[in-house]
A = this chain, B = another copy of it.
Amino acid sequence: MNSKLGLLEPLESLSMTDRVENILREYFTENAFKPGDALPNELEIAQKLNVSRNVVREALSRLRMLGMIEARPRRGMIMSQPDLLAGIEKVLNPFILSQSNQKDIFELRLILEMGIAEFLFARKTQKDLDELELIVEKQKSLPVLSKEDEIEFHGKLYDMTGNETFQRFQSLLFPVFEHVFASMTNQKDNYVLVDPVSHADLFRILRDGTPEAFRKAMHKHLEVYYNTIKK
Protein backbone atom coordinates (compact mmCIF):
# COMPACT_ATOMS: atom_id res chain seq x y z
CA MET A 1 0.00 0.00 0.00
CA ASN A 2 2.60 2.52 1.02
CA SER A 3 5.23 0.81 -1.10
CA LYS A 4 5.32 4.00 -3.12
CA LEU A 5 6.92 5.78 -0.21
CA GLY A 6 10.21 4.10 -0.96
CA LEU A 7 12.93 6.52 -0.06
CA LEU A 8 10.72 8.43 2.29
CA GLU A 9 10.57 5.76 4.90
CA PRO A 10 14.01 6.32 6.45
CA LEU A 11 12.95 9.87 7.17
CA GLU A 12 10.01 8.75 9.20
CA SER A 13 12.15 6.44 11.25
CA LEU A 14 14.29 9.32 12.44
CA SER A 15 14.42 9.65 16.18
CA MET A 16 13.52 12.88 17.92
CA THR A 17 17.21 13.48 18.51
CA ASP A 18 17.96 13.10 14.80
CA ARG A 19 15.24 15.54 13.94
CA VAL A 20 16.27 18.10 16.52
CA GLU A 21 19.86 17.86 15.29
CA ASN A 22 18.72 18.60 11.75
CA ILE A 23 16.43 21.38 12.84
CA LEU A 24 19.19 23.04 14.81
CA ARG A 25 21.66 22.92 11.96
CA GLU A 26 19.11 24.35 9.56
CA TYR A 27 18.27 27.00 12.10
CA PHE A 28 21.92 28.00 12.32
CA THR A 29 22.33 28.15 8.56
CA GLU A 30 19.13 30.02 7.83
CA ASN A 31 19.78 32.59 10.50
CA ALA A 32 23.40 32.94 9.43
CA PHE A 33 24.77 32.15 12.87
CA LYS A 34 28.41 33.09 13.10
CA PRO A 35 31.07 32.01 15.62
CA GLY A 36 30.53 33.83 18.87
CA ASP A 37 26.79 34.23 18.47
CA ALA A 38 24.78 33.18 21.51
CA LEU A 39 22.36 30.28 21.30
CA PRO A 40 19.01 29.98 23.05
CA ASN A 41 19.32 27.95 26.20
CA GLU A 42 18.47 24.27 26.35
CA LEU A 43 15.13 24.64 28.05
CA GLU A 44 13.99 27.27 25.61
CA ILE A 45 14.87 25.03 22.67
CA ALA A 46 13.14 22.07 24.26
CA GLN A 47 9.94 24.00 24.89
CA LYS A 48 9.94 25.59 21.44
CA LEU A 49 10.34 22.20 19.77
CA ASN A 50 8.07 20.48 22.24
CA VAL A 51 10.55 17.81 23.24
CA SER A 52 12.28 16.97 26.47
CA ARG A 53 15.51 18.58 27.49
CA ASN A 54 17.13 15.15 27.20
CA VAL A 55 16.50 15.01 23.48
CA VAL A 56 17.83 18.52 22.99
CA ARG A 57 20.94 17.70 24.96
CA GLU A 58 21.62 14.57 22.92
CA ALA A 59 21.40 16.62 19.74
CA LEU A 60 23.56 19.39 21.16
CA SER A 61 26.06 16.81 22.32
CA ARG A 62 26.61 15.83 18.69
CA LEU A 63 27.15 19.39 17.56
CA ARG A 64 29.52 19.91 20.43
CA MET A 65 31.55 16.91 19.34
CA LEU A 66 31.92 18.41 15.86
CA GLY A 67 33.12 21.63 17.44
CA MET A 68 30.14 23.43 15.96
CA ILE A 69 28.94 24.83 19.27
CA GLU A 70 30.60 25.47 22.56
CA ALA A 71 28.91 25.24 25.93
CA ARG A 72 30.27 27.43 28.64
CA PRO A 73 28.84 25.99 31.84
CA ARG A 74 26.43 28.37 33.52
CA ARG A 75 26.90 31.03 30.89
CA GLY A 76 25.08 29.58 27.92
CA MET A 77 26.13 28.24 24.55
CA ILE A 78 27.74 29.99 21.61
CA MET A 79 28.52 29.07 18.04
CA SER A 80 32.10 28.15 17.44
CA GLN A 81 34.43 27.23 14.58
CA PRO A 82 33.90 23.55 13.88
CA ASP A 83 36.81 21.21 13.57
CA LEU A 84 36.61 20.14 9.95
CA LEU A 85 38.17 16.72 10.49
CA ALA A 86 36.93 15.84 13.98
CA GLY A 87 34.20 13.63 12.57
CA ILE A 88 36.48 11.65 10.29
CA GLU A 89 39.15 11.26 12.91
CA LYS A 90 36.92 9.36 15.28
CA VAL A 91 35.77 6.95 12.66
CA LEU A 92 39.11 5.81 11.26
CA ASN A 93 39.17 2.38 12.80
CA PRO A 94 40.24 -0.38 10.42
CA PHE A 95 38.12 -2.90 12.27
CA ILE A 96 34.89 -1.18 11.46
CA LEU A 97 35.63 0.75 8.27
CA SER A 98 34.21 -1.00 5.24
CA GLN A 99 36.66 -2.62 2.85
CA SER A 100 35.40 -0.27 0.22
CA ASN A 101 36.10 2.80 2.35
CA GLN A 102 39.57 1.51 3.19
CA LYS A 103 40.37 1.03 -0.46
CA ASP A 104 39.06 4.51 -1.21
CA ILE A 105 41.32 6.00 1.44
CA PHE A 106 44.28 4.09 0.09
CA GLU A 107 43.67 5.57 -3.32
CA LEU A 108 43.00 9.01 -1.92
CA ARG A 109 46.53 9.19 -0.64
CA LEU A 110 47.91 8.47 -4.07
CA ILE A 111 45.71 11.15 -5.57
CA LEU A 112 46.82 13.69 -2.99
CA GLU A 113 50.46 12.79 -3.28
CA MET A 114 50.38 13.45 -7.00
CA GLY A 115 48.39 16.64 -6.72
CA ILE A 116 50.60 18.62 -4.38
CA ALA A 117 53.40 19.36 -6.83
CA GLU A 118 52.13 22.81 -7.78
CA PHE A 119 51.81 23.81 -4.16
CA LEU A 120 55.26 22.61 -3.24
CA PHE A 121 56.88 24.66 -5.96
CA ALA A 122 54.72 27.70 -5.31
CA ARG A 123 55.48 27.74 -1.61
CA LYS A 124 58.84 26.15 -0.95
CA THR A 125 61.27 28.25 1.04
CA GLN A 126 64.98 27.90 1.59
CA LYS A 127 64.30 26.89 5.17
CA ASP A 128 61.98 24.11 4.01
CA LEU A 129 64.54 22.86 1.53
CA ASP A 130 67.27 22.86 4.16
CA GLU A 131 65.14 20.82 6.53
CA LEU A 132 64.20 18.40 3.80
CA GLU A 133 67.84 17.99 2.82
CA LEU A 134 68.68 17.13 6.38
CA ILE A 135 66.12 14.35 6.34
CA VAL A 136 67.35 13.04 3.02
CA GLU A 137 71.00 13.08 4.12
CA LYS A 138 70.14 11.16 7.25
CA GLN A 139 68.32 8.53 5.24
CA LYS A 140 71.13 8.11 2.75
CA SER A 141 73.20 6.22 5.28
CA LEU A 142 70.46 3.72 6.04
CA PRO A 143 70.41 0.35 4.31
CA VAL A 144 66.59 0.27 4.17
CA LEU A 145 63.95 2.85 5.02
CA SER A 146 61.49 2.18 7.79
CA LYS A 147 57.87 3.20 7.87
CA GLU A 148 58.87 6.11 10.08
CA ASP A 149 61.43 7.30 7.57
CA GLU A 150 58.77 7.33 4.88
CA ILE A 151 56.45 9.32 7.10
CA GLU A 152 59.17 11.78 7.98
CA PHE A 153 59.99 12.58 4.37
CA HIS A 154 56.47 12.68 2.99
CA GLY A 155 55.19 14.41 6.10
CA LYS A 156 57.65 17.21 5.53
CA LEU A 157 56.30 17.57 2.01
CA TYR A 158 52.77 18.01 3.35
CA ASP A 159 54.06 20.62 5.76
CA MET A 160 55.57 22.51 2.85
CA THR A 161 52.22 22.81 1.09
CA GLY A 162 51.25 25.29 3.78
CA ASN A 163 47.81 23.75 3.89
CA GLU A 164 47.05 22.86 7.46
CA THR A 165 43.92 20.85 6.77
CA PHE A 166 45.63 18.87 4.06
CA GLN A 167 48.48 18.16 6.41
CA ARG A 168 46.24 16.85 9.14
CA PHE A 169 44.03 15.01 6.70
CA GLN A 170 47.03 13.19 5.37
CA SER A 171 48.29 12.19 8.79
CA LEU A 172 44.87 10.76 9.60
CA LEU A 173 44.77 8.77 6.39
CA PHE A 174 48.27 7.39 6.60
CA PRO A 175 47.64 4.62 9.16
CA VAL A 176 44.74 3.36 7.09
CA PHE A 177 46.92 3.50 4.00
CA GLU A 178 49.54 1.44 5.76
CA HIS A 179 46.98 -1.03 7.02
CA VAL A 180 45.53 -1.57 3.57
CA PHE A 181 48.88 -1.98 1.93
CA ALA A 182 50.10 -4.35 4.61
CA SER A 183 47.02 -6.52 4.26
CA MET A 184 47.39 -6.53 0.49
CA THR A 185 51.01 -7.55 0.44
CA ASN A 186 50.96 -9.66 3.57
CA GLN A 187 54.39 -8.42 4.35
CA LYS A 188 55.70 -7.79 7.80
CA ASP A 189 56.31 -4.16 8.54
CA ASN A 190 59.47 -2.09 8.44
CA TYR A 191 60.37 -3.37 5.06
CA VAL A 192 60.11 -1.00 2.15
CA LEU A 193 60.96 -1.95 -1.38
CA VAL A 194 63.90 -0.32 -3.08
CA ASP A 195 62.58 2.62 -5.04
CA PRO A 196 63.61 3.43 -8.59
CA VAL A 197 63.31 7.05 -7.49
CA SER A 198 64.71 7.83 -4.05
CA HIS A 199 63.82 10.57 -1.61
CA ALA A 200 67.10 12.21 -2.56
CA ASP A 201 66.01 12.28 -6.19
CA LEU A 202 62.71 13.88 -5.24
CA PHE A 203 64.48 16.44 -3.13
CA ARG A 204 66.82 17.47 -5.95
CA ILE A 205 63.95 17.88 -8.37
CA LEU A 206 61.98 19.89 -5.85
CA ARG A 207 64.98 22.17 -5.38
CA ASP A 208 66.05 22.60 -8.99
CA GLY A 209 63.31 21.21 -11.22
CA THR A 210 59.71 21.79 -12.25
CA PRO A 211 56.32 20.63 -10.93
CA GLU A 212 55.98 18.56 -14.06
CA ALA A 213 59.22 16.70 -13.44
CA PHE A 214 58.39 16.31 -9.77
CA ARG A 215 55.07 14.64 -10.50
CA LYS A 216 56.76 12.30 -12.94
CA ALA A 217 59.32 11.34 -10.33
CA MET A 218 56.76 11.00 -7.55
CA HIS A 219 54.76 8.68 -9.75
CA LYS A 220 57.77 6.48 -10.21
CA HIS A 221 58.50 6.65 -6.50
CA LEU A 222 55.00 5.39 -5.72
CA GLU A 223 54.81 3.01 -8.65
CA VAL A 224 54.51 -0.05 -6.46
CA TYR A 225 51.30 1.42 -5.03
CA TYR A 226 49.97 2.64 -8.34
CA ASN A 227 50.22 -0.86 -9.71
CA THR A 228 47.32 -1.77 -7.43
CA ILE A 229 44.82 0.54 -9.07
CA LYS A 230 44.47 -1.26 -12.36
CA LYS A 231 40.83 -2.30 -12.43
Kindly state the separation between the CA atoms of A18 and B133 in the bound complex, as whole angstroms: 42
Q: Is A42 an interface residue (CB 8 A)?
A: no
Question: Would you call A88 and B84 a contact (CB within 8 A)?
Answer: yes
Q: Which of B82, B119, B164 contacts A97 (CB 8 A)?
A: B82
Question: Would you call A28 and B93 a contact (CB within 8 A)?
Answer: yes
Q: Is A146 an interface residue (CB 8 A)?
A: no
Q: Is A57 an interface residue (CB 8 A)?
A: yes
Q: Which of B118, B161, B165, B230 contacts A105 (CB 8 A)?
A: B165
Question: Would you call B110 and A111 a contact (CB within 8 A)?
Answer: no
Question: Would you call B61 and A166 a contact (CB within 8 A)?
Answer: no
Kindly state the separation between the CA atoms of A88 and B84 in the bound complex, as whole angstroms: 6
Q: Which of B86, B123, B226 contacts A231 (CB 8 A)?
A: B123
Kindly state the separation between the CA atoms of A21 and B85 in the bound complex, as whole angstroms: 17
Q: How many residues of A contact B (CB 8 A)?
A: 69
Q: Which of B111, B113, B215, B231 contacts A166 (CB 8 A)?
A: B111
Q: Is A9 an interface residue (CB 8 A)?
A: no
Q: Is A149 an interface residue (CB 8 A)?
A: no
User: Nearest residue in B to A216 (C-beta to C-beta)?
Assistant: B212
Q: Is A23 an interface residue (CB 8 A)?
A: no
Question: Would you call B118 and A166 a contact (CB within 8 A)?
Answer: no
Interface string of A93-118 (1 = CB under 8 A from B): 10111101100110110111111111
Within 8 A of B (CB), among A110-169: 110-119, 122-123, 161-166, 169
CB distance from A231 to the nearest CB of B (A): 5
